Amino acid sequence: MASRYDNAAQQRILRAVVVLAGNEFMGIAPGELAKALGESPSTATRDLHNMKEAGFAEQIQETGRWRLGPKVVQISYAFSTELARAESRLAEVKNRYTREP
């Protein structure tokens, strides 16, 4: 169900991130991305350019194919780091409350 806040171009970019995920070594050709998104090749190329500008995609120089850029991995790593901190804090609280008096 679409809302007044939905934006087709933004939604397409987010879907493109999901399509690119898992293809970091071989990459995806712009035509493959276009087909996966149900869009024209020119739209996929424009989206890839905008994703590249934001650090979310990069072109593999040797093949011309595209993959997720470092920014996405950095976001994932930041989440993992914060999760580890939260687990550590939780373990400290658990230890404090489960010690025998």
Q: Residue 64: which residues within 8 A CB-CB, separation 6 or more?
A: 29
Nearest residue to 75 (alpha-carbon basis) of 56, 100, 60: 56
What residue segments make up the domains of the chain, in order of their start? 8-98
Contact indicator for 74, 62 with CB cutoff of 8 Å: no
pTM for this predicted structure: 0.78
Helix residue ranges per DSSP H, the chain: 8-20, 30-37, 41-53, 70-98
Is the model's pLDDT at 1 over the cut of 70?
Answer: no
pLDDT in tens, 29-74: 999 999 999 999 999 999 999 999 999 999 999 999 999 999 998 9
Query: Is the pLDDT reported for residue 101 higher than 90?
Result: no
User: Candidates 3.40.50.1980, 3.30.465.10, 1.10.579.10, 1.10.10.10; correct CATH number of 8-98?
Assistant: 1.10.10.10
Amino acid 73: pLDDT: 87
Partners of 66 in the β-ladder: 28, 59
How far is the C-alpha of 13 from the C-alpha of 10, rounded, in Å?
A: 5
pLDDT in tens, 9-33: 999 999 999 999 999 999 999 999 9
Q: What is the pLDDT of residue 2?
A: 73
